[in-house]
Amino acid sequence: MTLKIGVIGTGAIGQDHIRRITNVLSGGEIVAVTDVNQEQAKQIVEVEKLNAKVYDDGHALIQSEDVEALIVTSWGPTHEEFVLAAIKAGKPVFCEKPLATTAEGCKKIVDAEMAYGKPLVQVGFMRRYDKGYRALKNVLDYQKIGEPLIVHCAHRNPTVPDNYIGDMAITDTLVHEIDVLRWLLNDDYASVQIVTPKTSSLAKNGLKDPIMVLLETKKGIRIDVEVFVNCQFGYDIQCQVVGETGTANLPEPSSVIMRSEAKLSTEILVDWKDRFIESYDIELQDWINSTKKGIVSGPTAWDGYVVAVVSDACVEARNSGEIVSIATGDIPEFYKGNLSIVGEA
């Protein structure tokens, strides 16, 4: 059985997911697409030689009898309305982050899904599918370094475009660490403080860059995340867990080790798309397989909601300079059986 998928939003990542479902993965077929830019939607149908209808808007696509499941890859502020409409139609939906742009919007989705009575929503936090993070999770889950005590992280981009402004270091960049670290540690956050060191002279548009995010979890683990989006040298994701009996580092992406011109060197990636390309494949394949079984096995609407609450607290902490408490509430029974907490190398 092939899962008939409709895609709302055929921009960068929408096209990427269409390409992987059509050419790389199995068990899914793109039968419908839409975008406010209709020309772009028509073009992807042509380029990928899809047997897909181009719809006028997302709501018409969601209602279509031809569409069994949805991928929402439109502009962030539109996600909430499309995910709510998908739940209303009883259709499984994979939504790229953010689930909604406000914690309130995410909570509406959680409430609508629980009222519907069956999990339908998966959020696109792909780092949980990265082999390196899964291997690191195995080390922690099997207590190979004892209980985790401290986590040191860095999220570095070489540069960012001119439209990267305001709180985006938190709402666009840090959100990946917010999700993956609570999954990695089987824990939730209790508080956050943000400190701003000297700003790089290469940061543009009044951006304070880098920032240091200091999180504390409910179990008392201390996390520091350096977010530095104008580091110049590459796209660099670091994560080191300090445990009671050892340390464990996120593996570096594999690269040729060169001895040349009196130097021992390995390449550093510069594009985030290359760093996590395999995790997107694994993520989408897992979504197709799980959707066919009628389950959600990846990050849930609850996970999307928690990230939004923590992200809001981070923004408040940055604006106030204070330590801000984080209250996400207890995970509802409805979401407890979710499988996304399981790691595998």
Q: Measure the CA–CA gap between 296 and 121, rounded to whole angstroms.
A: 7
Using CB under 6 A, which of the segments 70-78, 180-188, 197-205, 249-257 binds ligand NAP? 70-78
Could you say whether residue 75 binds ligand NAP (CB under 6 A)? Answer: yes
Query: Quick one: DSSP state of residue 166?
Result: T
H-only helix segments in 90-219: 103-116, 131-141, 168, 175-185
Contact between 35 and ligand NAP by CB under 6 A: the answer reads yes
The tokens 């509406």 sit on which residue? 108
Q: Determine which residue in the list 3, 36, 212, 341 makes contact with ligand NAP, applying CB under 6 A.
A: 36
In angstroms, the Cα distances linking 119 to 116, 163, 333 are 8, 35, 12
Whichever of 48 and 216 has its CB closer to ligand NAP, that residue is 48
Which residue in the block uniquely carries the two structure tokens 């520091």?
A: 224
Radius of gyration over every alpha carbon of the chain, rounded to an integer in angstroms: 20
Residue nearest to ligand NAP (CB): 11
Strands 28-34 and 3-8: parallel
- Residue closer to ligand NAP by CB (options 12, 195) is 12
Q: Per-residue string for binding with ligand NAP, 13-32, x by CB under 6 A?
A: xx------------------
> Site residues for ligand NAP, window 158-217 (CB under 6 A)?
none
Structure token digits, residue 146: 């004892």
CA-to-CA separations, 106 to 270, 297, 305, in angstroms, rounded: 32, 19, 5
CA angle 66, 68, 74 (to 5 degrees): 95
Judged by CB, which is closer to ligand NAP: 78, or 297?
Answer: 78
Neighbours of 173 (CB within 10 A): 21
Mark 111-140 with x for binding to ligand NAP (rule: CB under 6 A) and - for no binding.
-------------x-x--------------
Which residue in the set 6, 28, 58, 343 belongs to the binding site for ligand NAP (CB under 6 A)?
A: 58
Contacting ligand NAP (CB under 6 A), which of 4, 48, 76, 238? 76
Nearer to ligand NAP, 3 or 13 (CB): 13
Residues that bind ligand NAP (CB under 6 A): 8-14, 34-37, 40, 58, 73-76, 78, 96-97, 124, 126
